[in-house]
Amino acid sequence: MENLLLGILSFSLIIGVYLVFKQVVWGSSGMHLGEQARSLIAKDYYNPALGSENIQGFIQRLLANADFLHLTIFLHNPRHPRDQQYHSYLSPF
pLDDT in tens, 70-90: 666 666 655 555 555 554 555
Q: 92 versus 61: which is more confidently predicted? A: 61
Global model pTM greater than 0.85: no
pLDDT in tens, 15-60: 999 888 888 888 876 667 777 778 888 888 888 888 888 888 888 8
Q: 65 versus 54: which is more confidently predicted? A: 54
Within 1-93, where are the H helices?
2-26, 33-41, 55-66, 68-74, 81-84, 87-90
Q: Is 56 helix (H, G, I), strand (E, B) or coil?
A: helix
The confidence band for 93, taking pLDDT boundaries of 50, 70 and 90, is very low
- The C-alpha atoms of residue 16 and residue 80 are separated, in whole angstroms, by 46
CA 62-71-36 angle, to 5 degrees, is 35
- The C-alpha atoms of residue 17 and residue 13 are separated, in whole angstroms, by 6
